[in-house]
Amino acid sequence: MKPIPGAKPVPLGQLVRAQDRLSFIYLEHCVVHRDANAITARDRKGTVHIPAATLGALLLGPGTTVSQQAMMLLAESGSTAVWVGEQGVRYYAHGRSLARSSRLLEAQAAKVSNQRSRLAVARRMYEMRFAGEDVSHLTMQQLRGREGARVRRIYREHAERTGVEWTRRDYVVDDFAAGTPINQALSAANTSLYGVVHAAIVALGCAPGLGFIHTGHVLSFVFDIADLYKTDIAIPIAFDIASEPVADIGAATRRAVRDRMKGGAFLEKCVHDIKSLLLDDQEAGDDELAADVVMLWDNNGRQVRAGTAYGDSEDFDTSYAEISGWLEEDW
């Protein structure tokens, strides 16, 4: 059989570590293809080459056409593609996860499945909203009440700042036009924020449905993380738009959120916050999420090497002793 033509995949050992990659690159209105081991983006102004091995996640916006060869190169390089709206304010679909390790996903599942650890993460999420305050002793009911009061205060402050009439948050999920202008703007801003957060979550390999504060919905974790930023992004933008004479409040709000997201700083912060919530400080800072290592689970709490033939008990004991040695050396 003849060898398959084309450039050979990048050897795993030559891939750039995740912490040294360009985390997110957003493209729109261009043709995305492959030239050797580079992703190319071509529009009327010319062609840009992006080394695939240095790319974390490629966000494909409106007007992009991507070739099969480009998608193959992303997969070979340990990168991912996410199809989004303008500047990521909508989430549509994604390819493989950016992470090769399942550690973030396992940490999320473990923490959300235990009442004590779930409460600890939920408290940390509230702690991030109440800067400088100790909420470690508060129950979930007390935290919800405190958060509700904080958000109502912020609504009033922005209403006074912009002169927009405000009564309360009121909207119909399937009827956008039924809401007041400010409620329409808030709905559009929140939906746009959900899109960007959703893209970050799936790029990291986490489960959008495993929430800590929200529960029972396929996007529970998306709502959890987005709520960390609503008062800094969605609410002020919505009041600004509602205070202006615009023909289409929804479109104007989405564009405003899009402009706010330019530059990638928000995505970097979002990724950092997700890691810090699910992992401890040391784990969140290392690069094991990119490790391409397969282990076998053992019910004694340890992991053993995959790709090893385990036979009778004597062979197993010998193998396990050897495995214990390399675990101690490497870990």
Matching residue, tokens 């489960």: 207
Tell me: the pLDDT tens digits for 55-81? 777 888 899 999 989 888 887 776 778
Tell me: the pLDDT tens digits for 155-177? 999 999 999 999 888 877 777 77
| Burial category of 5 from C-beta neighbours within 10 Å (exposed 0-12, middle 13-18, buried 19 and up) | exposed
Predicted local distance difference test score (pLDDT) of residue 107? 93
- The closest of 102, 96, 52, 94 to 77, measured between CA atoms, is 52
* Annotated domain spans of the chain: 12-84, 103-284, 295-330
Predicted local distance difference test score (pLDDT) of residue 42? 93
Predicted local distance difference test score (pLDDT) of residue 309? 59
Task: Please tell me the number of Cα atoms within 13 Å of 7 on its side-chain side.
Answer: 16
Query: What is the C-alpha separation between 226 and 193, in angstroms, rounded?
Result: 6
Predicted local distance difference test score (pLDDT) of residue 276? 93
Superfamily of domain 12-84: CRISPR-associated endonuclease Cas1, N-terminal domain (3.100.10.20)
Predicted local distance difference test score (pLDDT) of residue 15? 43
Predicted local distance difference test score (pLDDT) of residue 226? 95
The class that CATH gives domain 103-284 is: mainly alpha
Predicted local distance difference test score (pLDDT) of residue 37? 82
92-100 long-range contacts, CB within 8 A, separation 24+: 94/199, 94/202, 94/203, 95/71, 97/202, 97/203, 97/204, 97/205, 98/18, 98/56, 98/57, 98/203, 98/204, 98/205, 99/18, 99/204, 99/205, 99/289, 99/290, 100/289, 100/290, 100/291, 100/292
Tell me which residues of the chain have a pLDDT lower than 50: 1-7, 10-22, 282, 284, 286, 288, 290, 314-321, 323-331
Strands 46-51 and 38-43: antiparallel
